[in-house]
Amino acid sequence: MKAIDLNADVGELDPELDAAIIEVVSSVSIACGGHAGDDATMERVATLAAQRKVRVGAHPSFIDRDNFGRTHVDIAPDVLREQIREQIRRLAANSPVRIEYVKPHGALYHAAAVDEGVARALVAAADGLALMGQPGALYLTIGQQAGMPIIHEAFADRAYSDDGRLVPRNHPGAVLQEEAALEQVVSLTRGEVRTISGGLLTVRAQSVCLHSDTPGATALARRIADHLASEGITVTA
């Protein structure tokens, strides 16, 4: 039987949304104070995940709560390393279970994929934990060279361009509607995805991300899980 991990970013917006998403996914990346989240939220979400036997990861960002971590911050790599490390430690201190991986958020996610200083700061801060991200991201390459476990992810609800990158959110068709997302998830379990231009792209994906801030995220997550089950695909970390 085929299997795939479903991951979602939580601890950011709405407690009810977090609880509903955790019922469906197999991994959660928990905001740890950089762009959202506080000690109480981290503890609540990590405890819910533990109760559901959902894998817990840290979701650090640039220190940028005003812009929800979506704006690049120009910062010395050694300072950034310590900021990320402190976010991971803060989540660990509030979680009843072990933190198993690190997935950067927003602008940090994109910067660490291409900027060596940012990538090395993130890898150093992760301190041997698994790293989750898109295939080809520089921080995954550096982490893998250092012997760290790597989790390649793809996206259920975002369109891909022919070069394998996500289509920018402000581009028409960048965010997939429900039926297209269902088809894309099943396609990803086969190692391929249809691009926005109609081409077929090979994608290595051990985990598929569901954006919790996508409108109707909970309903979409449930439909994806049900659809995968109907195709004989198990959702598991």
Q: Provide the CATH number for the domain around residue 71.
A: 3.20.20.370
CA atoms of 32 and 29, how far apart (whole Å):
9
| Residue 1: band (very low, low, confident or very high) from pLDDT cuts 50, 70, 90 | low
Q: What phi, psi does 171 have (nearest 5°)?
A: -90, 135
pLDDT tens-digit map of 150-203? 999 999 999 999 998 889 888 999 999 889 999 999 999 999 999 999 999 999
- Return the number of other C-beta atoms located less than 10 Å from residue 162's C-beta: 12
> If you average pLDDT over residues 215-220, what whole number do you get?
84
Q: What is the number of structural domains in the chain? A: 1
Give the percent of the chain with pLDDT over 90: 84
Reading the block at residue 126, the tokens are: 């992760």
Domain with 216 in it: 2-235
- What's the average model confidence in pLDDT over 1-14? 90
166 φ, ψ (degrees, to nearest 5): -70, 140
Q: What is the mean pLDDT of the chain?
A: 94
Q: Tell me the two tokens of residue 138.
A: 């520089």
Q: What is the pTM of this model?
A: 0.95
Can you tell me the mean pLDDT for 138-144?
A: 98
